[in-house]
Amino acid sequence: MTSYTRTYHVSRNNPKSSDENDGTEERPFRTINHAAQIVKPGERVFIHAGIYRELVRPRLSGEGQDRMIAYEAAPEEKVIIRGSRVIPAKWELSIDANGIQGTPGTPDQLSIQLGFPANIYSKQLWMITLPDSLFENGYFPLRIPNVTNDDFDVMTWAARWKGRFPYDAPRGLLFEDGRRMTQLFAYEDLVRIPGSFWIASDGKTVHIHPFIKTNPNDHLFEIAVQPHIIQPQTLGLNFIRISGLILEHCANGFTRAGVAALFTMGGSHWIIEGNTVRHVNSVGIDAGGRAYEGKNTPKQTTPILGHNIVRRNHIYDCGTAGMRGLGISQALVENNDIADCGWQDVEFHWEVAGIKLLGCRGTIVRNNYVVRIQGGDAIWLDFANQNSRVTGNVMHDITTVQGAVFIEASQQMNMVDNNFLWNINGQGVRLADTDSCIVAHNLFGYVSEELAACKVATDRSLGGRKLTSIGNRIVNNIVVDQGKPILFEDSNNMADYNVYVSTKAGQTAKKDAGLHSKSINGDVKFDDKNLRLIWNTESKLPLVPLLKNCELDFFRYERTQFQNIPGPFLKLINKTNIQLVNPVHSKQIAE
């Protein structure tokens, strides 16, 4: 715990603020980044209310848990850091795509009489050519595709999408009065979709169909121009705390590593807590131990330490993933609300999820609320995970070709326990190329595909041995209206002590082959607006064996060998109505 020896103040709205000041509360700095060049270990930066349009680049590390460097919103003040700039020029009625490409049509007599320019496609469409001065540090997102050729060289598995939208689309992110607009592939589609935009081939002319039907010059338009919102100057800065900030409007790309709005750049012992990260082209937060991949990227010489904490953040409206990280060691990801991510719908480049962490060692992902993920997993631990755990999470309304939870290509023990999964358009838990995973005390409701899939999916090796899918245990779970049964490709996996519930009158739920698994009937519902489970079954839940490391349930009540039922909730012994998550969560992320 750091007792800070000095506090610098930043205030955009204070008329006396200046980066020539000394940073006191009476004489605050004007920009956060200026403070980031001055603050030293054991000191902090208080940021006062306002909208800051800048890239914050911390210069120094902290020197331990008692000498951290902190960047915090001042108490009870709303701090917004935007990677966008206000569009200053004037909107004009749009001429069609040929017109802006240098082959304008010939004006006809009627258009002259009406006073319109030639080649007006629709009176609903408007256009503007942005000045280069709007873009900083040589970064022109309207001229850079979401996936560059160098990116495809790293993500060889995504090469089939070269030349396809939105992979080759510019990193355009446009906002009208704070609402994110939708980028389209073809100019002609604009007329059909209010709130859309199209970027011309010159990389600076933008055509829009506004949400509103009045003149767009009477409204605020912003364009994202930064690849990050917070990004250290050097690799591997340590002991930094980011707290209470709102980060938004980031024009980042789709690469697997190194693109997030809040990017630790391989730093360790960061605490990222109580922030809001939203309206991002791809990834919200990257807290991995490894910063970059690829031959033309900076080489990391710092050790991969990890030990980062990401907690109590609201992460939503991110195009690909709420959080990612490559090389996650001894990390804690807890109590985050993650919603409405994956709207780019690019699951088949295999980097989309609410939370995707690669190479986890001793990492815990717990008590997160992950909802409405399009084209991606809720939580994905990818490749060579060891001794890591996905526990106590609430996940619902997930659409994926894989699983709501995916533990991939791992040979040592990991756990998926005490989670609530509901309305999953895909598999419940996917254990592809994975051994020795325990899936226990979860509640699955309305999973469309396999409840759990244990299979060999690739021809890869790990540690000198071909990957297999054996030694997995699916036990002590509750399954409501199962879609497809558990898939075991190898008999060296087991399922038992699970309870299968049918809510359909006159139908008996099919169960797995375990000797102790049971089928019961009942009325089970999930109120997703108030985040409550309604439970009413004809039979009581049976007693099941106590599992090591699962002695506590979802609510941290202690299980004993005399009081232990399937599923995550001991309350189901005598309750029929359970509040899963504070409903304020769903309201906050919808604002």
| CATH number of the domain encompassing residue 203 | 2.60.40
463 to each of 290, 381, 457, 460, 488, how far by Cα in Å? 20, 18, 17, 10, 23
**Tokens at 508, concatenated:** 């008996």
pLDDT at 252 over 80: yes
- Positive or negative, the CA dihedral 8, 12, 16, 19 is positive
- Tell me what percent of the residues of the chain surpass a pLDDT of 90: 88
Select from 193, 224, 255 the last residue of a domain: 224
Residue 143 sits at φ, ψ, to 5 deg, of -115, 5
Q: Is 90 in the same domain as 31?
A: no
- Residue 530 is given by DSSP the state T
Q: Is 98 in the same domain as 76?
A: no
- Tell me what percent of the residues of the chain surpass a pLDDT of 70: 95
Structural domain boundaries enclosing 54: 1-82
Q: Is 73 in the same domain as 163?
A: no
- 3-class DSSP state of 113: helix
Residue position matching structure tokens 């970064």: 139
| Average pLDDT estimate for 369-382 | 98
**CATH number of 45's domain:** 3.30.1910
193 to each of 93, 183, 187, 197, 248, how far by Cα in Å? 17, 10, 11, 9, 24
Per residue in 17-52, pLDDT tens? 999 999 999 999 999 999 999 999 999 999 999 999
- 3-class DSSP state of 437: strand
Domain count, the chain: 2
194 to each of 37, 197, 229, how far by Cα in Å? 43, 9, 28
Per residue in 47-67, pLDDT tens? 999 999 999 999 999 999 999
| Average pLDDT estimate for 233-248 | 97
User: What pLDDT does residue 160 have?
Assistant: 93
pLDDT band at 585 (very low <50, low <70, confident <90, very high): low
Let me know if residue 165 belongs to a domain: yes
| Average pLDDT estimate for 249-256 | 96
First vs last Cα of the chain: how many Å apart? Answer: 33
User: What pLDDT does residue 380 have?
Assistant: 98
Q: What is the rounded distance in angstroms from the CA atom of residue 495 to the CA atom of residue 517?
A: 8
Q: Is 54 in the same domain as 125?
A: no
Let me know if residue 142 belongs to a domain: yes
Element containing residue 379 per DSSP (H, E): strand 377-382
Q: What is the rounded distance in angstroms from the CA atom of residue 529 to the CA atom of residue 392?
A: 19
**186: buried, middle or exposed (CB in 10 Å: 19+, 13-18, 0-12)?**
exposed
| Average pLDDT estimate for 164-191 | 96
Q: For 116-125, 368-377, 390-399, which range has the lowest pLDDT when averaged over its residues?
A: 116-125
pLDDT at 170 over 70: yes
User: What region does 195 belong to: left with phi over 0, alpha with psi -120 to 50, or beta?
Assistant: left
Contact yes or no for 398/424 (Cβ under 8 A): yes
Residue position matching structure tokens 């850091």: 81
pLDDT at 570 over 90: yes
Let me know if residue 445 belongs to a domain: no
Q: Is 94 in the same domain as 56?
A: no
pLDDT at 145 over 80: yes
Let me know if residue 140 belongs to a domain: yes
User: What pLDDT does residue 302 have?
Assistant: 78
Select from 172, 204, 224 the last residue of a domain: 224
| Average pLDDT estimate for 301-318 | 91
Select from 171, 190, 224 the last residue of a domain: 224
User: What pLDDT does residue 581 have?
Assistant: 84
Contact yes or no for 288/264 (Cβ under 8 A): yes
Residue 38 sits at φ, ψ, to 5 deg, of -110, -35
Q: What is the rounded distance in angstroms from the CA atom of residue 169 to the CA atom of residue 176?
A: 20
Contact yes or no for 311/273 (Cβ under 8 A): yes
pLDDT at 97 over 90: no
Q: What is the rounded distance in angstroms from the CA atom of residue 422 to the CA atom of residue 412?
A: 28
Per residue in 483-532, pLDDT tens? 999 999 999 999 999 999 999 988 899 999 999 999 999 999 999 999 99
**Tokens at 177, concatenated:** 């009065």
pLDDT at 214 over 90: no
| Average pLDDT estimate for 271-290 | 97
User: What pLDDT does residue 349 have?
Assistant: 93
Let me know if residue 67 belongs to a domain: yes
pLDDT band at 304 (very low <50, low <70, confident <90, very high): confident
User: What pLDDT does residue 590 have?
Assistant: 47
Let me know if residue 27 belongs to a domain: yes
Q: Is 69 in the same domain as 145?
A: no
Per residue in 63-90, pLDDT tens? 999 999 999 999 999 999 999 999 987 9
User: What pLDDT does residue 118 have?
Assistant: 58
pLDDT at 103 over 50: no
